[in-house]
Amino acid sequence: AMRAASRTADRCRHPSRRCPGIATMTPVAPPNIEATEAAIRPYRPADRDAVYAICLGTGDAGGDAAALYRDPELIGHVYAGPYLELEPDLCFVLAEGDRVLGYVLGTRDSLRFGQACERDWFGPLRARYPMPEAAETGRDARMMRLIHAGYRADPELAAWPAHLHIDLLPVAQGRGWGTRLLQRFLGRLDELGAAGVHALTGPANPRAMAFYGRCGFAPVKATPATIAYAMSLRRDQPWQNPQQSG
């Protein structure tokens, strides 16, 4: 789920899209983005440590989770690593020179992604991180249990088979970069022919909820801890890439 959505400062440049069974969302036009030296580019293997650090630094409902983990890589192993390893062509970073300030990661097909994770990702991690005892609590134990549970695509979200995670450091928030990262990701999904996309967040992260609503997503499923936002991707009205539309 998006834990540190930036405040939208650039128009979500797309027609409203209708998700099956939900109302059409009309994005709000935010103010112009300020000039900056930062730029969005494809992920590179050398970015791995920075992506993991951002995942940790935004891992507490958008806040810094570093003090909550004994092993600082655990959260990245769950929410970042499998995408970097298995679908690097759907990973983009916001960078200012050599410094990575944010990212968007995801998959075009959640069902196949889960199968690939079982085959190629979680096995070695399960050997490294044994299942914690039932009495163990804390963030490390929670992430280890997620590693052993693996990723399972939610059949109730099958109409929107792609999914994403997007996170930004505080220095990059409130400047429109969250919207631009999302645009870049959705442009790539459109090229790949994805039918729709979803993202998970929760009531503990109201900024993320507002961000997805402004960008044309709509809530399609809710539990006490999690809200799924989704968008249908129509082939006749592709999402505009911000680098193409200026």
Is residue 165 scored above 50 in pLDDT?
yes
Residue 5: band (very low, low, confident or very high) from pLDDT cuts 50, 70, 90: very low
Identify the bridge partners of residue 40 per DSSP, sorted by sequence position: 94
Is residue 137 scored above 70 in pLDDT?
yes
The pLDDT value recorded for residue 188 is 97
Is residue 191 scored above 80 in pLDDT?
yes
CA distance 169 to 197: 24
For the segment 7-22, the average pLDDT, to the nearest whole number, is 35
CA 205 to chain centroid? 14
Residue 235: band (very low, low, confident or very high) from pLDDT cuts 50, 70, 90: low
Residues 6+ apart with CB under 8 A from 230: 19, 22, 157, 159, 160, 196, 197, 198, 199, 217, 218, 219, 220
Neighbours of 235 (CB within 10 A): 9
Q: What is the pTM of this model?
A: 0.81
Residues 6+ apart with CB under 8 A from 177: 6, 33, 38, 40, 94, 101, 102, 168
* Average predicted confidence (pLDDT) for the chain: 84
* pLDDT, tens digit, 9 for 90 and up, residues 96-111: 998 999 999 999 999 9
DSSP characters over the chain: --SBPPPP-S---S---PPTTSPPP----PPPPPP-S-EEEE--GGGHHHHHHHHHHTTBTTB--GGG-SSTTHHHHHHTHHHHHH-GGG-EEEEETTEEEEEEEEES-HHHHHHHHHHHTHHHHHHHSPPPPTT--SHHHHHHHHHHH-----GGGTTS-EEEEEEE-GGGTTTTHHHHHHHHHHHHHHHHT--EEEEEE-TT-HHHHHHHHHTT-EEEEE-SS-EEEEEE--TTSPPPPHHHH-
The pLDDT value recorded for residue 37 is 84
Q: What are phi and psi of 41, to 5 degrees?
A: -145, 165
Is residue 16 scored above 80 in pLDDT?
no
* pLDDT, tens digit, 9 for 90 and up, residues 145-160: 999 999 999 999 999 9
CA distance 160 to 158: 5
Task: Using a pLDDT cut of 90, give the percent of the chain over it.
Answer: 76
| Tokens of residue 173, six digits | 């928030």
Is residue 181 scored above 80 in pLDDT?
yes
Residues 6+ apart with CB under 8 A from 133: none
CA distance 56 to 175: 21
